[in-house]
């Protein structure tokens, strides 16, 4: 594009000896940055060249990604700092609402992003899922980066005056932000339809300004820009032969008016820069380095004109050097308020936030408080706004709540349960405030049903009381000399009352009492010891649990540990059709004197690099001094925990070994070919003692078992799918030594 008449006049004036002696007003340079999603990162390359040429813009106007780059530059971030920020971002996280599982409170971890579908239930009917990103992470990033400007409401008062453009979805008209809360303005300007949720502001619903006004040259001129430098990374008008695919036709129709508007803006630009980005897509955020380089190349092609402009401007006087806003190390909140809450009280939200009024906190502590709120799984989005008001500093917590009642569903298949449907329904603040009622079920051959009520007892919602009722059914095979000679069906009805306290987000300690009713029925046996047996235990227990895994599906780092010490006391039992050939006296077999049980299980992942981890899984299960070993046991086998008594073990099928004592561990290596596909090799070994009374024989001594496993895992839209080959390399004759496999597809609650 040719220089404008105005620019030519300035250069002519400077070359004329007569006119050069007269003082001249220094013209204002406006920098205009278009949208373009990931392609807009090329603006950083343009800024690098402008700095090299010595051009300091007097004002900036931007749309979408241009508003983010332009807004941060207006605050005081230089081009090299912006480049580093873009290159260091985890874009999968930034452009999502996801947080690591380690940032979710313990009580919600098992249900966080661990289902096929989640539906809100509100107004007496199931609502459709939103399908849009609320922008939790991009809002958090923009708030952090813009915090030095929190006292500035008028964008003219920024180190470089700044304007950005959104679009009012209700009217189709552009909306220009030149005052207000800067992070919200930038977030609204890049609210891409069908990707990010719109931003509510007054009576408007704002989306990405690139839909209607992607190249805001007129906005720069309205603020007095005499010379326009424009960088355009938006969509171009496609030719006839390019409109062959559905996606191209859809994009052309969506952005046609925006393209036409940009073409009308371009003649007003004095120095026009258009990076060559046809080989890049709007989603290519992970190619930031090459996109920035493309912007630098395009700007460098105009370097001669840029340098001449800078020299001409400098001849008119020293340019004003904007002073970057000082960074904030600590923040003092005189008052905290909540906006957007409907179902949860302000006191409840501020209590969980964990930072009180008239207190001082670092930026990290502020963000940890925001993460505590979002990690409660109560909200679609949690953000903050810091602003002065009447001489005070006010922190506003802006929340978008989830519906109080959520329905979750998943499907699952494995060798043990068969095909099953998993469902979960949870609702908040039933009967009592700060509470959660949850029903979880697995409909399969071996079913599981659980009803759980949790009531938080303190303002920070760390201490709680809980009541649980659970009903399960399982199959227990019994092997002797490597062959299965019996099988029992076990029904369990558990009633559990406990008090617990969460330490941070990832630790849980507590104690409780239980009533467990166990009902055994013989399904396979040549000479069964009994036909039916049921008994009731009353237990007291204490526990400690830790969960720092980064995600529920195919974790790469962190640990999940569980330690429980339980004392058991039998209330009564009932046995039918006891075998007269039993070698063990009745009073010995069913004495049921009080005894103690200690259980420790773990899954630990130690990352070696981005795509590989070592796994370490020690376990211990000990039943101390029971009067009979029929009273309690562990079910060993399969690579996944299948019951509350399970100890996973490579080399054995599900529940293939019934043990009174189980002490051992496993080690493995897992490698991710892609973010959602892994291969792992595992080995485990342990010492076990079987409760011989299942078959009426005396207890057997400790036996050594070892096994190997190789697993292929894939995170699919149905949930994780894992196929494992296993081989028992040392069995002491307990089970046959042959190759076996275990397949699991779908989520587990």
What's the farthest any 2 CA atoms get from each other in the chain? 126
pLDDT digits (tens, 9 = 90+) for 450-507: 999 999 998 888 999 999 999 999 988 776 655 666 778 889 999 999 999 999 889 9
pLDDT digits (tens, 9 = 90+) for 62-91: 999 999 999 999 999 999 999 999 999 988
What is the CB neighbour count within 10 angstroms for residue 339? 12
Whole-number pLDDT of residue 582: 58
What is the CB neighbour count within 10 angstroms for residue 128? 7
Low-confidence ranges of the chain (pLDDT < 50): 1-6, 8-22, 693-699
Cα distances from 675 to residues 99, 104, 116, 669, in angstroms, run 16, 21, 19, 16
Whole-number pLDDT of residue 257: 77
Q: Are 307 and 54 in contact (CB under 8 A)?
A: yes
Give the three-state DSSP class for 463. strand
Structure tokens at 192: 């891409």
Structure tokens at 166: 């959104």
Give the C-alpha separation, 114 to 424, whole Å: 11
In 443-541, alpha helices (H):
none
What single string gives the DSSP state of each residue in 582-638? -SS-HHHHT----EEEEEEEEEEEEEEETTEEEEE--EEEEEES-S-TTS--EEE-B
DSSP 8-state code for residue 687:
E
pTM of the model: 0.81
Give, rounded to a whole angstrom, the gap between the first and last alpha carbons of the chain: 61
Q: Alpha-carbon Rg of the chain, whole angstroms? A: 33
Q: Are 73 and 155 in contact (CB under 8 A)?
A: no
134 CA to centre of own chain: 13
DSSP 8-state code for residue 747:
-
User: In 669-701, which positions are buried (b, 16+ CB within 10 angstroms) versus exposed (e)?
Assistant: ebebeeeeebebebbbbbebbbbbbbbbeeebe
What single string gives the DSSP state of each residue in 567-583? EEEEEEEEEES--TT-S
């Amino acid at each position: 594009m040719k220089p404008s008449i105005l620019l030519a006049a300035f250069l002519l004036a400077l070359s004329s000896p007569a006119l050069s002696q007269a003082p001249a007003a220094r013209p204002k340079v406006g920098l205009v940055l278009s949208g373009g999603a990931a392609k807009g990162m090329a603006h950083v390359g343009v800024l690098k060249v402008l700095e090299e040429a010595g051009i300091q813009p007097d004002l900036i106007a931007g749309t979408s990604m241009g508003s983010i780059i332009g807004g941060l530059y207006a605050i005081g971030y230089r081009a090299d700092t912006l480049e580093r920020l873009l290159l260091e971002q985890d874009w999968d996280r930034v452009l999502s609402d996801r947080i690591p599982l380690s940032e979710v409170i313990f009580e919600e971890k098992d249900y966080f992003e661990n289902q096929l579908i989640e539906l809100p239930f509100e107004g007496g009917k199931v609502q459709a899922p939103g399908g849009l990103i609320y922008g939790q992470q991009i809002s958090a990033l923009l708030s952090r980066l813009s915090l030095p400007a929190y006292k500035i409401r008028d964008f003219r008062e920024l180190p470089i005056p700044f304007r950005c453009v959104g679009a009012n979805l209700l009217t189709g008209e552009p909306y220009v932000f030149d005052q207000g809360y800067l992070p919200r303005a930038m977030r609204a300007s890049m609210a891409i339809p069908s990707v990010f949720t719109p931003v509510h502001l007054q009576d408007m619903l704002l989306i990405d300004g690139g839909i209607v006004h992607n190249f805001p040259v007129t906005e720069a001129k309205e603020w007095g820009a005499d010379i326009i430098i424009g960088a355009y990374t938006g969509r171009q008008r496609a030719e006839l032969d390019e409109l062959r695919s559905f996606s191209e036709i859809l994009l052309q129709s969506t952005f046609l008016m925006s393209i036409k508007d940009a073409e009308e803006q371009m003649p007003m630009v004095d120095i026009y820069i258009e990076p060559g980005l046809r080989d890049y897509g709007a989603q290519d955020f992970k190619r930031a380095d090459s996109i920035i380089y493309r912007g630098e190349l395009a700007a460098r092609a105009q370097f001669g004109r840029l340098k001449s402009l800078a020299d001409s401007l400098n001849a008119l006087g020293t340019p004003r050097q904007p002073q970057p806003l000082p960074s904030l190390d600590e923040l003092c909140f005189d008052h905290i308020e909540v906006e957007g809450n409907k179902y949860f009280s302000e006191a409840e939200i501020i209590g969980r936030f964990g930072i009180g009024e008239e207190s001082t906190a670092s930026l990290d502590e502020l963000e940890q408080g925001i993460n505590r709120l979002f990690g409660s799984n109560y909200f679609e989005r949690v953000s903050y706004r810091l602003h002065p008001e009447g001489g005070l500093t006010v922190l506003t917590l802006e929340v978008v709540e989830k519906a109080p009642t959520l329905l979750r569903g998943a499907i699952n298949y494995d060798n043990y349960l068969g095909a099953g449907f998993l469902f979960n329904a949870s609702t908040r603040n039933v009967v009592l405030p700060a509470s959660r009622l949850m029903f979880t079920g697995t409909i399969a051959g071996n079913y599981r049903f659980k009803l759980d009520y949790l009531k938080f007892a303190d303002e920070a919602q760390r201490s709680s009381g809980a009541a649980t009722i659970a009903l399960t059914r399982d199959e227990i095979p019994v092997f002797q000399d490597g062959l299965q000679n019996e099988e029992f069906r076990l029904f369990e009805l558990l009633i559990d009352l406990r008090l617990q306290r969460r330490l941070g987000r990832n630790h849980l300690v507590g104690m409780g009492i239980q009533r467990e009713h166990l009902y055994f029925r013989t399904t396979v046996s040549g000479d069964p010891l009994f036909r039916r047996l049921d008994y009731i235990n009353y237990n007291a227990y204490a526990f400690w649990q830790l969960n720092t895994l980064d995600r529920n599906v195919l974790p790469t780092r962190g640990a999940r540990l569980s330690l429980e010490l339980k004392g058991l006391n039998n209330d009564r039992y009932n046995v039918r059709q006891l075998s007269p050939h039993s070698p063990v006296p009745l009073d010995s077999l069913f004495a049921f004197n009080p005894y103690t049980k200690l259980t420790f299980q773990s899954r630990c992942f130690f990352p070696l690099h981005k795509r590989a981890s070592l796994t370490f899984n020690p376990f211990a299960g000990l039943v101390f001094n029971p009067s009979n070993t029929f009273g309690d046991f562990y079910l060993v086998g399969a690579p996944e925990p299948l019951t509350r008594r399970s100890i996973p073990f490579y080399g054995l099928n599900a529940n293939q070994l019934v043990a009174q004592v189980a002490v051992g561990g496993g080690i493995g290596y897992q490698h991710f070919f892609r973010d959602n596909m892994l291969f792992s090799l595992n080995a485990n070994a342990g010492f076990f003692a079987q409760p011989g009374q299942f078959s009426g024989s005396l207890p057997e001594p400790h036996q050594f078992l070892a096994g190997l496993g190789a697993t292929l895992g894939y995170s699919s839209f149905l949930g994780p799918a894992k196929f494992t080959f296993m081989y028992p390399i040392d069995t002491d004759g307990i089970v046959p030594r042959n190759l076996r496999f275990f397949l699991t597809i779908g989520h587990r609650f």
